[in-house]
A and B are shown apart, each in its own frame.
Chain A
Amino acid sequence: MISILNKLIPAETNLPWLAKVTMLLILVLLPFILSSYGLSLLTKVLIFGLFAMSLDILVGFTGLVSFNHASFFGVAAYTVGILVNRGFENFWLLLIPGIAIALLLAGLLGLLILRSSGAYFLMITLAFGQMLFALAWKWRSLTGGDDDGLPGIGRPEIGLPISMWNEQNFYFLVLILFIGSFLLIKKVIKSPFGKSIVGTRENELRMQSLGYNTWLIKYISYIIAAGFAALAGILYTYFNGFISPQELDWSMSGYILLMVIIGGAGTLVGPVVGAAVIIILQNLISTYTELWPLFMGLIFILCVLFARDGIVGSLLKLYQKKVGEMK
C-alpha cells in the first residue's frame, strides 16, 4: 500500500495542502455537475458534516461521549422553525435566537451533566436528551408533537436578491457557513484553549495538577459544541422544511456519533467524511432494502475491528508512516 502511495504522490508534494485545495474545488464545482437529487444529498452531507464536526469537539478532542447532542440540534431547529412559521424572515437575525437558546440549554445542562464522567456521563446525557425529546413529543401546541411535527418551513431570506428556493443558491449558503464553521472550529482547536481540551482528554489528573480547571474547560467545550450543533440544526430546518421530535431523539445522537467514529474522531475532517459515507450509503442501500441500518451496523463493526481510527484517522496514520519512511 505504501509503495503504491509512493508512486502516486511525488515526495515533495505537500499532501494536506493539496487535499484541501482539491476538496474545496470539488465542493465548488459539484453543484454544476450533480442532479437536483445529488445536490440535495450533498447539501445534507454538509449540514450533517457540520453537526458531526461539532460532536467531534466533544468526542474526539475533549474525550466526552455525549448522547444528547441532538438536543441542541433539535432545539435550535424548532426555535427557528417556530419563528419562521410566525412570520420572522431574516435568516441572519434568526440565527441569534436559534443559537442562543442552544447555548443557554448547554450552559444549564452542562452544570448538571459535567459532574459525572465516563459511562455515567454517557447515561446522564442520554437521560436529559430523552427528556427533551419527550417534551417536544408532548408539547403539541408548540412543536406539533409527533403527529404533525412542524411543517411548512420555507427557505431562508438572506437579504440579497437571490432566491434560496434555488437548490444551488441554498447549497452555496450552506457551503459558506460550513467552511466558516470549519475554520472557526479549527482555530479553536489550535488555540491554547484547544490544547487544554486535548490535555484534559489525555490526562485530566495531570491537567489539574498543572493548575487547569478541567471542569471549566469541559464546560466551555460542551457549550461551543452545542453552538455549532445549533447552526447545523437551523440549516436542517430550512433544508428539510419540516421538523419532528425525532430530531431530538437519542437515535439522532447515535447516528451522528456513528459518523464521527466511522470518519475518525479527533480529526475534524473525519466526521464530515463519515457523514458523507453514511448518508450516501443510506440513500443507496435504502433504494434496495429497508434493512439499511443492518449494513450501517456492519460497517461500524468493520470499522471498530479493522480501522479504529476511522477512515480519515487510518489514512492519516498511513500518510505519516509514508512521510516517516521517506525521511
Chain B
Amino acid sequence: MKALEIKNISKSYGGLDVLINVYFTLEQGERRAIIGPNGAGKTSLFNIISGIIKPDSGEIYLLGQNVTRLSTYLRSRLGLARTFQRNTLFNNLSILDNVELALHSTKSDSNIKDILRNWGLWDKRKVIVKELSYGEQRQIEILLALVQSPKIIILDEPTAGMSPMETKTITEMIKSLSRDITVLIIEHDMDVVFNLADGISVLHNGQILCEGSPDEIKSNPLVKEVYLGTDH
C-alpha cells in the first residue's frame, strides 16, 4: 500500500492553471521533496493534499483510501499532519495550550511534560506563542504536527526564515524521524533538500517537470535551467 497517491490533480483559478495533471506516489517511509520556483503550485498542491482546497479534477489516496472528498479534519484523523508556510499557531495561547490542543486531537496518552522537555520548551511552557521568536514559533509549528503521531507529514518550507543554526537543528530533527513516518517536504534550501530527501519531484508551472534521486535531479540540465542554476 502506498502512503500517498496523487492522481492527475488539476486546479485552476479563472484562466490561471495552477496545477495540471499532477501525478506522483509516495512509498511508506519515503522522504520526498518537492522543489520548484515560486508560483510553481507547490503550496496549492499541499493545500489540496490536506483538503483545504478542492481540486477541479483528479484523486488523492491516503494509505489506500480515496480522500478526495474528505474534509481536512478527517484526513488528519487518518494520519496526515501538516505544517504551514506561514506559522499557523494559536498565537494568543501558551506553548502548553498549543501542544495540549494537538495532543487532545489524537487522544494520545503521550506525556506533555516529556514532549516539552525533549524539545527544550518546558521552562517556557507558559509563554504566549506570539511573544516567541520566529525560529521558536517555527519549531512549535513542526512540534504541533509531530505530536499528532502522524503516518504522513507534509512540511511546507519548514526552515523558511530560520538562521543557519536553526535550519541545521530542524534538518537533523526531521532526519531523525522514525521511518514509520512518510515525509513530503517543500523546501527552497537545496542543502536541506539534498540532505533529507530520498527522492525529489520538480514542479514547474503547475506540472511535474521530472522526478528522481537527489543526484539525478542535481545533474538534470532541465532542472538546472528552470530552477537550480549553475551553482548546484
Contact = CB atoms under 8 A, between A and B. Distances in A.
Nearest to B129: A202
A209 B76 contact: yes
Contacts of A202: 90-93
Interface in A161-218: 192, 195-196, 198-199, 202-203, 205-214
Nearest to A213: B73
Contacts of B100: 195
Interface residues of A, number: 17
A209 B93 contact: no
Given A199-B90, A202-B92, A209 B104 contact: no
B62 interface: no
B71 interface: yes
Interface of B: 50-52, 71-73, 76-77, 81-82, 84, 88-93, 97, 100-102, 104-106, 144-145, 148
26 contacts: A195-B104, A198-B97, A199-B90, A199-B93, A202-B90, A202-B91, A202-B92, A202-B93, A206-B88, A206-B90, A208-B51, A208-B52, A208-B71, A209-B76, A209-B82, A209-B84, A209-B88, A210-B73, A210-B76, A210-B105, A211-B73, A211-B76, A211-B105, A212-B73, A212-B105, A214-B73
Contacts of B145: 209
A209 B81 contact: yes
Contacts of A211: 73, 76-77, 105-106, 148
A245 to B, nearest CB: 39
Contacts of A212: 73, 105
Given A202-B91, A203-B90, 14 more contacts: A203-B89, A205-B52, A205-B88, A206-B88, A206-B90, A208-B51, A208-B52, A209-B72, A210-B148, A211-B76, A212-B73, A212-B105, A213-B71, A213-B73
B93 A196 contact: no
A210 B101 contact: yes
A210 B81 CA distance: 7
Contact of A206 (B77, B89, B92): B89
Nearest to A195: B101
A146 B1 CA distance: 68
A145 B89 CA distance: 50
Contacts of B81: 209
B101 A208 contact: no
Contacts of A206: 84, 88-90, 144
Contacts of A196: 101, 104
A202 B77 CA distance: 21
A83 B105 CA distance: 44
B129 to A, nearest CB: 9
